Structure 1
Amino acid sequence: MAGERKRKLSLFDVVDESVNGTEKMKANGGPVLNPHTGRPYSAKYFEILEKRRTLPVWQQKAEFLNILAKNQTMILVGETGSGKTTQIPQFVVEAGYTSNRKQVACTQPRRVAAMSVSRRVADEMDVTIGDEVGYSIRFEDCSGPKTTLKYLTDGMLLREAMTDPLLERYRVIILDEAHERTLATDVLFGLLKEVLKNRPDLKLVVMSATLEAEKFQAYFNGAPLMKVPGRLHPVEIFYTQEPERDYLEAAIRTVVQIHICEPAGDILVFLTGEEEIEDACKKIGREVQNLGDQVGPVKAVPLYSTLPPAMQQKIFDAAPPPAKDGGPPGRKIVVSTNIAETSLTIDGIVYVIDPGFAKQKVYNPRIRVESLLVSPISKASAHQRAGRAGRTQPGKCFRLYTEKSFQNDLQPQTYPEILRSNLANVVLTLKKLGIDDLVHFDFMDPPAPETLMRALELLNYLAALDDDGNLTKLGELMSEFPLDPQMSKMLVVSPEFNCSNEILSITAMLSVPNCFLRPRDAQKAADEAKARFSHIDGDHLTLLNVYHAYKQNGEDATWCYDNFINVRAMKSADNVRTQLVRIMNRYNLKMCSTDFNSRDYYVSIRKAMLAGYFMQVAHLERTGHYLTVKDNQVRDEGLGGDVPWMLLWK
């Protein structure tokens, strides 16, 4: 009889009542069952539920579901902190869109966000991550047969479309952070417009944190717009009187000044990359320690894309308590890349320090080289950063640039990635999807014709496309690897040169952040350590030496520390290599090596590399300049001066 007293309730049965969870359980004579697991909800679930009900988007749940039910496509604009990323996908699942074994997909532009948000949502739904809620990022899939809600990077959804062109497994697709206009998201825009014509049952929700909604509406044929307000308190903006020569030092100095002079509240600092962030965290800790008991303790926490998930979660920890009873309060300081602009919401932030820079991908089609450059942010990004300070109470944003610079030098919006990227991978993907008319593909912002033609030309030279622009068997095989086409070609042909094991290791090392650490207080020792791995024939073989040494020393973290090697980068490279080996085995590509003592050992590796990157070879002219063989472009920056031939990389 006890079993009869239990009643399966959906989430909406629980939350739409005015009584709390405990009263609900009492009213029904037994525990409320989670419809996803069939087990009673945990106490933690009801604690989280109370917080969820305070989110702005919660008040518009019925409005959202009504618009979704009546339209195939809709646009949702919600300020960061409105709850759209965590709640909207759950509303869709609970409304029954995952019946008949269908799934809901929610794309994120960044791996960190896909992992972090999926874990949060799994907690909110009271399920285990990897079961009903999962995530999928490059080289890592944490989902399974039970998964109904999947967070994944936009690039992974694009890859799924290569094997499932109509994305049949999904009933609703949510493109989150659409305002970031990543390369993959822009391609998904055009792709999904076509898929929707062939799948009247499929629904699309485009979510953005900025008010570029009119452009999205026009692109998606007048799709209805829903606006969700944020929970912003007033934010006071401060500018510098003069431009800062060293924004990193200025940021650290500002952190210390805030900690000494301002009331309690956590600090968010925006920097451009891992090395800068780790360096800043160490310096902040030292600077505050030197102040002694006159200030409270601090906890400086880094945040960037390659940080392990357990380390990423530390940004949500509470600030440290006072060092002694009645002492000054502690403070948490999150030092992050631009991922904290919109992708993640961190409660407790009262102060934001914005140096005004971020790393952006830039492609030069003439020399065929893509680089990550530190560039000024846009006004829209500056606005998003400032907004982080007003989530829980009135805040302050310290911009480390002048007001004149903000008004005159910053672009209104971030330039879409598709207008500044190598499109070879995009073209290969579209060809794999059977889209041949690239000129008329419905890009929201069409890329420059020269960039598109260079991509087609490159793929033809790599033998991925034939002279008529059709995908070859080699091109199909290359498209199976989640790598850029040149790297894929290098890997696919490496068995022919009897060096696939070595090329796998080089590819893995090139697919992760820089493995060499160079702390500011130990630069000489770090340079000497790097020199021990250096190979006369270039950086790629240097990376191979590092990987071999790492494996020979048992993947030991202490060895990495002693040699100024980033242990996280090495673990990541090892994981990437394992995933690539699986793809190699799936397509019966031979795993082989030339004898290390053979005179052909390094020659074979260079031959395999040139099979993919021959268009980036340069020759030293009598004038002392390097000239690319294919396009006669002069390249001098950062190059040696006495090597007759060189393979250019970044």
Structure 2
Amino acid sequence: MSSKFVPKFWKPGTVAPGVGLEEERKSLTEESSQAVQYNPHRSLSVDQQRQKLPIFQHRTNILYLVEKFQTVIIIGETGCGKSTQIPQYLFEAGWAAEGHVICVTQPRRVAVITVANRIAEERGAILGEEVGYTIRFEDCSDPVATRIKFVTDGLLIREIMQDPLLLKYSVIMLDEAHERSLNTDIIIGLLRKIQKKRSDLHLIVASATLDAEEMYNFFNSNETDNPELDTAAVLTVEGREFPVDIHYTLDPTPDYIKCTVETVMKIHFNERSGDILAFLTGQDEVERVVSLLIDEAKKLNKDDMKMKVLPMYGSLPASEQMKVFERTSSHVRKIVIATNIAEASITINGIVNIIDCGFVKIKAYNPQSGIESLVVVPVSRASANQRAGRAGRVRAGKAYRLYTESDFDKLPQATVPEMQRSDLAPVILQLKALGISNVLRFHFLSAPPAQNMLRSLELLYALGALDENGNLTSPLGLQMAEFPLSPMFAKMLLVSGEFECSEEALTIAAMTQIQNVFVTPSRQKNKSNRERRRFSVEEGDHISLINVYKAYLKYGTSSKWCQEYFLNYKGLCRAVEIRQQLKRILLKFKVPLISCGDDVDPVRRCLTASFFANAAKLHYTGVYRTVRDDHVLHIHPTSVLFPEMPPKWVIFNEVIQTTKDFMRDITVIKPEWLCELASHFYQFGTTTFYPLGKKMTRDR
């Protein structure tokens, strides 16, 4: 039996419930066998592998409950097989007969693709025929042949706009509902309404860490046309296919990034097999750790096992994300460094060891300032358990938590739903487009704060998307709802024709959808900063992004050229794709495609007409303060305006909160533009600017 390595600073935790220690020992003794490197059941047939999953014991119960109840809530441990098996059980029971389709939603694009691909493999089908998927900007399904269809939550909302009753679907399964994203909560509320009109539409809500009682009460209060039909039921599936051993640190970790690298290397030198998945908070941290591990990999001896280090985060192009699912040889260990994008519904072949930093980056909205920030907070216990579950998908695994067990016990049970900590302007715009006139009375699973709702309604009215009665305006409001962008970006694109800069507006919209256009290697920071100045202009970040995009096209979209000038080649490739998609929407709305050439003032005016609510003025103390709410902000260090002489007036896209509140994607504006282009929102005082409705006092 191979010895079990536990780093000296780890404290053993508990083995996953429902699995005996003897089974864990048996799995560990087989580690040296190449046949079990990825799956100890690989020699079994597909049907035999499916029958070994814990969910198989409940197959009959699931089908019975779906037949009897309109809504079935299934709570099953990570790795029990609910995501891949339940859609197949429904298909085999005839729920996709007579032209109907079984729909399965996932919060993230990568989960949609991987789970659909897995089910297609199990069924021996070609992906895109019997089993297909549809995500934003990509459709891999057949309108006639596809019977099991995977979509993102956001895309299902788009489908409801076309077919309000979703008549082609017989069963809709909401997977990973515990994440409680904005789109997930909207879908849950909409499906509750649709079920009142369609008693034949059945809903399955599945998760490993969901508050089942809250969900049950929400759907059980739903009134249907058939009073004899019970509304909701809950089923719990215990056990996972493979055990996961949890380890904690003995003392708090002062630097989880450094500790992540050290833990990866300890595992690499002491564990003979098994790939590694480490969770961090954002793209910057992921790329930093990837760079450090690549440096460590170069120091390995010829006889040591090789390391293949791969990043995984949301803004990474899909083709790059899919690389983490490729198999490696027995002499190469795969090490995936990811954000919480890899937290749920993803099975990466070979992953045995999980490293959890204990933090996550989430949105946080302040209704007083109207600013939505990205903040790093401790994970919830539900998320920590989801992360640990990634280790028990294909064989017995281990999860190393970079925090103490007592700290784990202090974590919140679940993350606050995104609906209660986000800017609700996109939500309200979507609900209005779906014909829900009174959004304040809409049945939300978790009601958002009233202040957030009022602030968002005010912004949409100021943007011209809503009229004075709160109804969607035509055509502007209806067209804004069609864009898969925030309302401000949608407004910018739709009015860009009037400012004769629609080509530049398309470029800005596409470039701001990718993170970190500029790459800054730790050892070449000064050189990369010098190269960045080649594209920088005094007008700010948006115009600089246009320069980068034009230069990228001019030099043949070359990866070598991007490397020379420290640009994110993969991100720029993605920006080209996004721009083409947005261009098609503009052509659909007959917005003229015009370029303003070298005159950047039309672009800045167009941005001002859309982002006027995000205006800030330089204070005499050296900081910026928002014009509307006097909130203190700073220029982000990655901005082209940092640390040059700060301009007096700016607008910005978003705020990121780390040590301070930083503005990102900034453009320099003239104060008179605010009065000219947003006179309904601002007015001049005797010596300065004031938002309408605020008491005017003279500046000192």
Q: TM-score range by the shorter chain?
A: 0.7 to 0.9
- In the alignment, residue 652 of structure 2 is paired with which amino acid? L
Cα distance, 1:233 vs. partner? Answer: 4.5
**Is 1:259–1:295's contact at 8 Å kept on the other side of the alignment?**
no
Worse-superposed segment, 626-635 or 568-577: 626-635
* Other structure's SS at 1:537 match: coil
- Tell me what 1:556 maps to: 558
- In the alignment, residue 519 of structure 1 is paired with which amino acid? P
1:646 aligns with 2:650: yes
* Other structure's SS at 2:440 match: coil
- In the alignment, residue 651 of structure 2 is paired with which amino acid? L
In structure 1, what is the Cα distance between the partners aligned to 2:210 and 2:368? 35
Structure 1 residues not aligned, in runs of 5+: 1-43, 323-329
**Is 2:316–2:571's contact at 8 Å kept on the other side of the alignment?**
no
Cα distance, 1:191 vs. partner? Answer: 0.9
**TM-aligned CA distance change 1:50 to 1:274, over 3 Å:** farther
**Is 1:233–1:393's contact at 8 Å kept on the other side of the alignment?**
yes
Task: Describe the superposition over 1:211-269 as per-residue Cα deviations: whole angstroms up to 9, x where unpaired.
Answer: 52122111111611122234255444333343333211210111111112234322221
**Is 1:275–1:517's contact at 8 Å kept on the other side of the alignment?**
no
**Is 2:317–2:571's contact at 8 Å kept on the other side of the alignment?**
no
- In the alignment, residue 648 of structure 1 is paired with which amino acid? F
Cα distance, 1:152 vs. partner? Answer: 1.1
In structure 1, what is the Cα distance between the partners aligned to 2:129 and 2:593? 34
- Tell me what 2:417 maps to: 416
**TM-aligned CA distance change 1:47 to 1:558, over 3 Å:** farther
In structure 2, what is the Cα distance between the partners aligned to 1:281 and 1:230? 34
**TM-aligned CA distance change 1:61 to 1:335, over 3 Å:** same
**Is 2:174–2:204's contact at 8 Å kept on the other side of the alignment?**
yes
In structure 2, what is the Cα distance between the partners aligned to 1:242 and 1:307? 34
Query: 5 Å matches for 1:135-150?
Result: 135-145=133-143, 146-150=145-149
Task: Describe the superposition over 1:71-114 as per-residue Cα deviations: whole angstroms up to 9, x where unpaired.
Answer: 11111112221221122122222322223332221111111111
Structure 2 residues not aligned, in runs of 5+: 1-41, 221-230, 637-641, 655-700
- Tell me what 2:32 maps to: none
Task: Describe the superposition over 1:608-641 as per-residue Cα deviations: whole angstroms up to 9, x where unpaired.
Answer: 1112111111222444443322333333464876
Cα distance, 1:515 vs. partner? Answer: 1.7
- Tell me what 1:71 maps to: 69
Choose which of 469, 475, 478 in structure 1 pairs with 2:477.
475
Choose which of 92, 95, 101 in structure 2 pairs with 1:94.
92
- Tell me what 1:376 maps to: 378
Query: 5 Å matches for 1:45-84?
Result: 47-84=45-82
* Other structure's SS at 2:464 match: coil
- Tell me what 1:463 maps to: 464
- Tell me what 1:453 maps to: 454
- In the alignment, residue 649 of structure 2 is paired with which amino acid? W
- Tell me what 2:402 maps to: 400
Choose which of 239, 255, 262 in structure 1 pairs with 2:248.
239
- Tell me what 2:633 maps to: 635
Query: 5 Å matches for 1:149-548?
Result: 149-221=148-220, 223-231=232-240, 233-293=242-302, 295-322=304-331, 330-408=332-410, 410-473=411-474, 474-548=476-550
Cα distance, 1:466 vs. partner? Answer: 0.4
In structure 1, what is the Cα distance between the partners aligned to 2:284 and 2:103? 33
* Other structure's SS at 1:412 match: coil
In structure 2, what is the Cα distance between the partners aligned to 1:317 and 1:620? 50
After TM superposition, the score normalised by the length of structure 1 is 0.87
**Is 1:369–1:649's contact at 8 Å kept on the other side of the alignment?**
no
- In the alignment, residue 569 of structure 2 is paired with which amino acid? V
**Bigger share in helix:** 1
Cα distance, 1:644 vs. partner? Answer: 1.5
Cα distance, 1:45 vs. partner? Answer: 13
Cα distance, 1:580 vs. partner? Answer: 0.8
In structure 2, what is the Cα distance between the partners aligned to 1:45 and 1:485? 52
In structure 2, what is the Cα distance between the partners aligned to 1:49 and 1:568? 39
**Is 1:297–1:321's contact at 8 Å kept on the other side of the alignment?**
no
* Other structure's SS at 1:367 match: coil
Task: Describe the superposition over 1:106-144 as per-residue Cα deviations: whole angstroms up to 9, x where unpaired.
Answer: 111111111221222222222222233222222222223
In structure 1, what is the Cα distance between the partners aligned to 2:446 and 2:300? 52
In structure 1, what is the Cα distance between the partners aligned to 2:156 and 2:343? 23
In structure 1, what is the Cα distance between the partners aligned to 2:210 and 2:618? 50
**Is 1:299–1:320's contact at 8 Å kept on the other side of the alignment?**
no
**Is 2:290–2:337's contact at 8 Å kept on the other side of the alignment?**
yes
- In the alignment, residue 58 of structure 1 is paired with which amino acid? F
* Other structure's SS at 2:343 match: helix
* Other structure's SS at 1:496 match: coil
* Other structure's SS at 2:400 match: strand
- In the alignment, residue 294 of structure 2 is paired with which amino acid? G
**Is 1:171–1:202's contact at 8 Å kept on the other side of the alignment?**
yes
- In the alignment, residue 427 of structure 2 is paired with which amino acid? V
- Tell me what 1:39 maps to: none
**Is 1:367–1:616's contact at 8 Å kept on the other side of the alignment?**
no
**TM-aligned CA distance change 1:96 to 1:236, over 3 Å:** closer
In structure 1, what is the Cα distance between the partners aligned to 2:354 and 2:627? 48
Task: Describe the superposition over 1:507-549 as per-residue Cα deviations: whole angstroms up to 9, x where unpaired.
Answer: 0111222222112222222222222111211111111111111
**Is 1:104–1:149's contact at 8 Å kept on the other side of the alignment?**
yes
In structure 1, what is the Cα distance between the partners aligned to 2:252 and 2:43? 49
**Is 1:304–1:336's contact at 8 Å kept on the other side of the alignment?**
yes
Task: Describe the superposition over 1:371-413 as per-residue Cα deviations: whole angstroms up to 9, x where unpaired.
Answer: 32232211211122223334455433221123333233x2221
- Tell me what 2:597 maps to: 595
**Is 2:79–2:389's contact at 8 Å kept on the other side of the alignment?**
no
Task: Describe the superposition over 1:168-208 as per-residue Cα deviations: whole angstroms up to 9, x where unpaired.
Answer: 22221111100111111011111110000011121111111
After TM superposition, the score normalised by the length of structure 2 is 0.81
**Is 2:80–2:241's contact at 8 Å kept on the other side of the alignment?**
no
In structure 2, what is the Cα distance between the partners aligned to 1:406 and 1:77? 22
**Is 1:97–1:172's contact at 8 Å kept on the other side of the alignment?**
yes
In structure 2, what is the Cα distance between the partners aligned to 1:497 and 1:424? 24
Cα distance, 1:421 vs. partner? Answer: 0.8
**Is 1:45–1:125's contact at 8 Å kept on the other side of the alignment?**
no
**TM-aligned CA distance change 1:306 to 1:120, over 3 Å:** farther
In structure 2, what is the Cα distance between the partners aligned to 1:633 and 1:307? 32
Task: Describe the superposition over 1:289-332 as per-residue Cα deviations: whole angstroms up to 9, x where unpaired.
Answer: 4231463222223322344444434434445324xxxxxxx432
**Is 1:298–1:320's contact at 8 Å kept on the other side of the alignment?**
no
- In the alignment, residue 359 of structure 1 is paired with which amino acid? K
* Other structure's SS at 1:532 match: coil
Cα distance, 1:283 vs. partner? Answer: 2.6
